[in-house]
């Protein structure tokens, strides 16, 4: 490991960046360095501009990928190397505001029916019932299932923040059956390596396979279940602030995106066209 990489990782740890974020940032910087075959400490604003031209025009990376690269390079240069140039030298692409993919309750049931193993049913029903991120699921410990308070203690949330989410009464018998069969000790969902939790990769892979078996045409990821959790709560009349707390969103502005994907929210809204007194138009055509 180079001294610069070690210094950047140390700086990220000081600032409590999630391990997954650290890994992504280091990967972005490594690709940047390999492109020029030089240490990033020897590169400047002109090189950064050329690299963004390369990833945009030649690699045709989308906005999301380019934003991640920009964030990684901004951290490297302004937090680790503490350069004195303007932050504008590392362009941040305008983020596309795409609506999340949401499954209907019937589609959720169809997806769950395609889960073949008890462990997978327990994992994905836990994600949906509590609105968890995949990294939060993988870090669940057996002791995090609080039956007395009917809550799930969510560790290692985004921003290194813990929180509590819902423990569904319907989830408890499934978790009991799973725990009796799997006998987990520390991690609720242990991985292939002894003493380690299941990896995010394994969860995503299992989700992809179940989605194909289900026959659903929507793109389904573990995060789709989290989006569906939030949308279904909103449609059931739960207020945005409560949903924000359950999801662990820092800002309620992030939670408001679900207003755009919850059809029942607009059920009582009348179009202004319907309020006008217009003559009949049957013969106009």
Is residue 157 within 8 Å of 136, Cβ to Cβ? yes
Q: Which two tokens stand for residue 94?
A: 């305008």
Residue of 77, 128, 178, 258 with catalytic role: 258
Is residue 134 within 8 Å of 200, Cβ to Cβ? yes
Please give the CATH superfamily to which domain 105-266 belongs. Intergrase catalytic core (1.10.443.10)
Q: Which residues are CB-contacts of 179 (< 8 A; sequence separation ≥ 6)? A: 142
258 flagged as catalytic: yes
Q: For the segment 48-73, what is each residue's pLDDT rounded down to a tens digit?
A: 999 999 999 999 998 889 999 999 99
* Cβ atoms within 10 Å of 246's Cβ, excluding its own: 21
CATH 1.10.150.130 residue spans of the chain: 3-89
Alpha-helix runs per DSSP H in 57-170: 63-74, 105-113, 118-130, 134-138
205 flagged as catalytic: no
Residue of 158, 163, 209, 213 with catalytic role: 158
The pLDDT of 38-47, averaged and rounded, is 95
249 flagged as catalytic: yes
223 flagged as catalytic: yes
Q: Compute CA distances 267 → 226, 235, 241, 262, 270, whole Å.
A: 23, 10, 21, 10, 8
114 Rama class: left (phi>0) / alpha (psi -120 to 50) / beta: alpha
Residue of 66, 120, 139, 226 with catalytic role: 226
Q: For the segment 184-214, what is each residue's pLDDT rounded down to a tens digit?
A: 999 999 999 989 999 999 999 999 999 999 9
Tokens 């990376």 — which residue? 61
Half-sphere exposure of 254 (CA within 13 A, CB side): 11
Q: Are strands 151-154 and 163-166 parallel, antiparallel or unpaired?
A: antiparallel
Q: Which two tokens stand for residue 43?
A: 């590169």
CA distance 198 to 255: 28
The pLDDT of 89-93, averaged and rounded, is 83
Residue of 31, 35, 119, 223 with catalytic role: 223
Evaluate if residue 285 carries a pLDDT over 50: no
Q: For the segment 129-153, what is each residue's pLDDT rounded down to a tens digit?
A: 999 999 999 999 999 999 999 999 9
Fold topology of 3-89: DNA polymerase; domain 1 (1.10.150)
Q: Which residues are CB-contacts of 269 (< 8 A; sequence separation ≥ 6)? A: none
128 flagged as catalytic: no
Band of the pLDDT at 160, cuts 50, 70, 90? low
Evaluate if residue 284 carries a pLDDT over 60: no
133 flagged as catalytic: yes
The pTM assigned to this predicted structure is 0.74
Report the share of the chain in percent with pLDDT over 70.
91
CATH 1.10.443.10 residue spans of the chain: 105-266
Residue of 66, 133, 139, 227 with catalytic role: 133
Report the share of the chain in percent with pLDDT over 90.
71
């Amino acid at each position: 490991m180079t001294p610069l990489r070690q210094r950047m990782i140390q700086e990220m740890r000081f600032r409590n960046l999630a391990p997954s974020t650290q890994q992504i940032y280091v990967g972005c910087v490594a690709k940047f360095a390999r492109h020029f075959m030089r240490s990033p400490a020897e590169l400047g604003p002109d090189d950064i501009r050329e690299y963004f031209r390369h990833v945009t025009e030649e690699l045709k990376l989308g906005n999301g990928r380019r934003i991640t690269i920009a964030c990684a390079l901004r951290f490297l240069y302004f937090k680790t190397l503490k350069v004195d140039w303007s932050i504008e030298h590392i362009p941040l692409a305008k983020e596309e505001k795409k609506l999340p993919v949401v499954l209907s309750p019937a589609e959720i049931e169809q997806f769950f029916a395609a889960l073949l193993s008890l462990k997978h049913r327990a994992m994905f029903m836990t994600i949906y019932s509590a609105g968890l991120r995949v990294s939060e699921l993988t870090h669940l410990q057996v002791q995090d299932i609080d039956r007395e308070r009917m809550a799930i203690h969510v560790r290692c949330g985004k921003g290194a923040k813990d929180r509590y989410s819902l423990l569904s009464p319907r989830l408890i018998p499934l978790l009991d059956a799973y725990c009796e069969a799997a006998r987990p000790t520390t991690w609720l969902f242990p991985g292939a390596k002894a003493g380690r939790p299941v990896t995010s990769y394994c969860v995503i892979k299992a989700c992809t396979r179940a989605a194909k078996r289900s026959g659903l045409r929507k793109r389904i990821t573990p995060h789709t279940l989290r989006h569906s959790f939030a949308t279904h709560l909103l449609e059931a009349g739960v207020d945005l602030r409560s949903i924000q707390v359950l999801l662990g969103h820092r800002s309620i502005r992030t939670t408001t995106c679900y207003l755009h994907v919850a059809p029942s929210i607009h059920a009582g809204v009348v179009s202004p066209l319907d309020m006008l007194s217009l003559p009949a138009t049957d013969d106009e055509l």
